[in-house]
Amino acid sequence: MTSSTKNVAFIGLGVMGFPMAGHLANAGYNVTVYNRTSSKSALWLESYTGKSATTPALAAQDADLVLICVGNDDDLRQVTSGENGVLKTMKSGTTLVDHTTASADVARELYSLCESQQIGFIDAPVSGGEAGAINGQLTIMCGGNSDIYSAVEPIMAAYARFSKLLGAVGSGQIAKMMNQICIAGVVQGLAEALQFGQNAGIDCESVIEVISKGAAGSWQMENRHKTMLDDHYEHGFAVDWMRKDLAIALDEAKKNGSTLPLTALVDQFYADVQKMGGNRWDTSSLLKRLA
């Protein structure tokens, strides 16, 4: 793959992939999309210029670069090494970039498969949520070869405000696990603080105005405290997705000897939210279980 890359395939048009692929089309790339539910591809074509394919393999057959953003390890294997996966048609010298939040193990597995076909590979999970994808302001954590990364970074810039190569293949996924571990703890702390303030009868909005300017400040506090106080959770990153991500982190911790007691506890709190019917509520819904 070279800087003259024009043909791009994007596999997976979920809440993240849909706008990400759109940014590539708007940036002038020839984009071919694939989504398991074909109606989503049709909807994408109503908003952007490009083509759709009926299988991942067909989407990738003429692509210089293939980007993937699907649900989990199993989905990823299906669209890459499956019967109609992209690796069936990708050519030597092309590159595969995986934006799925998945395990480090599957990233290394895909790297090995790509290497055997002389295809470049970068694991590149993203952070920033649906709003970040829509606004082209995602942060991308990458693992892989520096030359491959240098070639794809300008292309990913169509939907990212910042990306960084963090080490060998799998490093991007490890970084995303660290990201989710941090978020889980921060959201739980914010939920407890808001409940504490409500029970004390203080004006929580005024308190947040003050403490957000100090050491307690965070993205979650700035962007979620109002909706939490309003008991509004129909937005953002879903509890189901967070539990999937935390399960990956907890599994990796067992392999590398880490102890994640807070993460394990908050994961169980999210299980409580699921039992309340909050599978698709935003992760800030930890406050809901305290009510």
Tens of pLDDT, residue by residue over 8-42, are: 999 999 999 999 999 999 999 999 999 999 999 99
Q: Say how far apart CA 138 and CA 161 lie, in whole Å.
A: 6
Q: Say how far apart CA 281 and CA 288 lie, in whole Å.
A: 10
Q: Say how far apart CA 235 and CA 186 lie, in whole Å.
A: 18
- Give 115-171 pLDDT, tens digit per residue: 999 999 999 999 999 999 999 999 999 999 999 999 999 999 999 999 999 999 999
Q: Say how far apart CA 83 and CA 69 lie, in whole Å.
A: 18
Phi, psi of 265 (to 5 degrees): -65, -45
Q: Say how far apart CA 188 and CA 226 lie, in whole Å.
A: 15
Q: Please give the average per-residue pLDDT across 170-193, as a whole number.
A: 98
- Give 199-231 pLDDT, tens digit per residue: 999 999 999 999 999 999 999 999 999 999 999
Q: Which stretches within 230-260 are classed as H helix?
A: 239-256
Is 1's pLDDT higher than 50? no
Q: Say how far apart CA 48 and CA 26 lie, in whole Å.
A: 7
pTM for this entry = 0.94
Q: Are 20 and 50 in contact (CB under 8 A)?
A: no
- Give 33-80 pLDDT, tens digit per residue: 999 999 999 999 999 999 999 999 999 999 999 999 999 999 999 999
Instruction: Identify whether 176 is a catalytic site residue.
Output: yes
The catalytic position among 176, 226, 255, 275 is 176
Catalogue all structural domains in the chain, each as residue range(s) with its CATH number. Answer: 7-168 (3.40.50.720), 174-290 (1.10.1040.10)
Segment among 2-6, 125-129, 275-279 with least mean pLDDT: 2-6
Q: Which helix (H) or strand (E) holds 199?
A: helix 171-200
Q: What is the pLDDT, as a whole number, of residue 4?
A: 63
